[in-house]
Amino acid sequence: MRSIFRNWIATGLSFVIVLTVVLVPCSARAESGDHSSDRPIHLYATASGGPIGRIGSDPIRSSSLLINGQPSTAGQVVWSGDLLQSSPGAKACVPLDSIGQVRIGGGTTLRLATRPSSREDGTKGLTLVASLAQGEIAVELQPSANAYLRAARTEYESSSGASFKASVKNGIGSVEVKSGVVHPETQGAQHQYTIAPVGHDSHIKVRAGKLVRLQVQVREDDKPVPGVGVLFALDTSGAVIGVLGMGTLSGTTANVVTDADGMAAVQFVARDYSGTGPVSATVEGTRVAWTGEITVTSYGDHVKTSTWAWVILGGAAAAGGIAYAVTRDPDKPPLTAQPPMVKNP
């Protein structure tokens, strides 16, 4: 009777272990045409994407200054690539680390970013990259920093340590220089940008409820272009199959500034149902764009077990065999438990 009881305990233990392994959810993976589902998704972070400054301590009324569409407060950090919007009559100051400060007038829409740069004398410094869509700003740079400004459709470059005001009214940009030099780029010159996906093709597949990293690179004359804005957008004319971005910053559009390698990336999070929809990435201020297609597939009745699940399952089976050998009836001939062979792929 005792041996039967021990056998039942071993069998029940093995069943519980196997059932636990089978019910463990598979690792979140994305699928694309190049079989990227075989690789786990990683969230990337780089030092160049860190905070570049903070909102000044000047009093700010509630909702008078938005950062990426969210109300801001004094002391809040500003990250490279953030979109700042001030309400009419509001004012704010943004001190920038190792660069200087930017004062924002009322009714202003502005994107701020920074990038490392090299001077003609070989010294290193930082460049302020500002894109002013409307409103007015005043910029005061430290001696080691210069600025690259886009005001409406006109682009300007400043000398190190310059001080100037820039405004955009009725779609027309202008600059008033206080000190230093600020000169526009050659009139009529057009950037020959190209944009292409990196790490995936134009047909992207992802499981329902999972996520995939969308990444493009902007180049000019076959060289990466840092510090330019890229607008990712999902087609909302039909069913919305997912969102761009994570957490409170998610939506059907996302603005990203290219890094030192000309890369711009955003996470796409799929809804819990299947569907297909277009996605695009456009270089801000241009018609240069990449268009792809995302297909969200449901799991169906077949659940794909990950490689690690099979490894654990093999281990559970081996444990069950060992448990049976340990709890067998000592009055019967001994049994040799042979755990199954498990090979890593």
Angle at 278 between CA 274 and CA 282, to 5 degrees: 145
Parallel, antiparallel, or unpaired: how do β-strands 203-207 and 289-297 relate?
parallel
What residues in the chain have per-residue pLDDT under 50? 18, 21-48, 62, 187-188, 301-345
- In this structure, the number of other CB atoms found within 10 A of the CB of residue 42 comes to 7
Phi-psi region of 35 (alpha: psi -120 to 50; beta: other; left: phi over 0): left
What is the model's pLDDT at position 340? 43
Q: Residue type for 95, please?
A: P
Whether the CB-CB separation of 133 and 109 falls below 8 Å is answered with yes
Distance (Å, whole) CA 283 – CA 225: 11
Q: What is the DSSP letter of 98?
A: T
CATH topology of domain 57-184: Jelly Rolls (2.60.120)
pLDDT digits (tens, 9 = 90+) for 38-92: 333 233 333 345 789 999 876 555 458 888 878 888 889 998 888 888 888 888 8
Distance (Å, whole) CA 304 – CA 246: 26
The residue to which tokens 């998704």 are assigned: 41
Distance (Å, whole) CA 15 – CA 344: 24
* Residue 58: closest CA among 74, 46, 44, 47: 74
Q: Which CATH architecture has domain 30-45+192-297?
A: Sandwich (2.60)
Q: Any bridge partners for residue 173, and if so which?
A: 168
- List the structure tokens of 102: 């930017």
Whether the CB-CB separation of 84 and 104 falls below 8 Å is answered with yes
Cβ-based neighbours of 42, under 8 Å, separated by 6 or more:
213
For the chain, give every domain's residue range: 1-26+305-345, 30-45+192-297, 57-184
Angle at 230 between CA 227 and CA 234, to 5 degrees: 165
H/E element, 20 = helix 2-23
- List the structure tokens of 314: 């093999």
- List the structure tokens of 234: 């999902």
- List the structure tokens of 302: 């077949």
Distance (Å, whole) CA 232 – CA 92: 28
Cβ-based neighbours of 25, under 8 Å, separated by 6 or more:
none
Distance (Å, whole) CA 38 – CA 328: 42
What is the model's pLDDT at position 8? 60
Whether the CB-CB separation of 197 and 290 falls below 8 Å is answered with yes
- List the structure tokens of 122: 């070989």
Sequence length of the chain is 345
Whether the CB-CB separation of 108 and 132 falls below 8 Å is answered with yes
